[in-house]
Amino acid sequence: MKTNKQEDEGEGLAALIGMDWADQKHDVCLWACDSDKSESSVIKHLPETLREWINGLCERFGGRRVAICLEQSRGPLIHALMGYEFVVLYPINPRTLAKYREAFSISRSKDDPTDAALLMELLRKHRDKLRAWKPDDKQTRLMGRLVEDRRKAVNWRTRLSNQLTAALKDYFPQALELVGEELASTLACDFLLKWPTLEAVQKARPETVRKFYYGHNCRRGNLIEKRLGLISKAKALTTDAAIVESSVMKVQNAGSPVAKPPW
């Protein structure tokens, strides 16, 4: 009788499958353990097609476990496969497959059907050195994704702020003082969309600018008056149309609602 540990390590499998994934389709190499030859096929990357293929495996092998080796431990293909109890996933590092390919291919060039066959071969010949993947529980996976998404959002905002700062320094450096230190703020984005150049804000009535600050919860009278004074006395860094117009497009694209981070 097989133990749970043996099953987790891939014992008692009905088939070994290598999948070379891509955005549009997946090359598959399947070796049924009761057969002496492999089978090749191509599956479109569509939820319906993947589900039909997986259900076909379940029916063909009577619900017995099948092993699938692929080059990713996360992503849409993993998401599609991880919900089936009879599927044992063996994700490997792409560098592992690249080294394996180099060892047996003179050209060393990547080829999807060949890679699918090599992934299947890794299972047949080296499964004892591979580790079956088991996902964390739902709460752990959710927390991990949220933390990663937040980190990416913060990095995205930092890059965007740096690009915005550089663009303003090219033609409208006074804006860095007029909108405050936080260029990702609603005040900064709205200000630069409304008045993307020094000339534009200097044409506005002081009372209009004052109401703008009040409307964005900037109510420190001395700070507002200081900024109004800066607007009235400031001189343009450059009036070169090529620099100003291109910089305005860059600034307004960065400050548009579409470009704002999701928080």
Place of tokens 């955005």: 23
pLDDT in tens, 192-213: 999 999 999 999 999 999 999 9
What does the pLDDT read at residue 165?
92
Residue 22, pLDDT score: 81
| Whether the Cβ atoms of residue 108 and residue 102 lie closer than 8 Å to each other | yes
Q: pLDDT tens across 152-194, in order?
A: 888 888 888 888 999 999 999 999 999 988 888 899 999 999 9
Rounded percentage of the chain residues whose pLDDT exceeds 70: 87
List pLDDT tens digits, range 75-95.
778 888 888 889 999 998 888
150, amino acid identity? R
Q: Is the pTM higher than 0.75?
A: no
Percentage of the residues of the chain whose pLDDT score is greater than 90: 51
Average pLDDT, the chain: 85
pLDDT of residue 243: 93
* pLDDT above 70 for 109: no
Q: What is the mean pLDDT of the segment spanning 45-63? A: 92
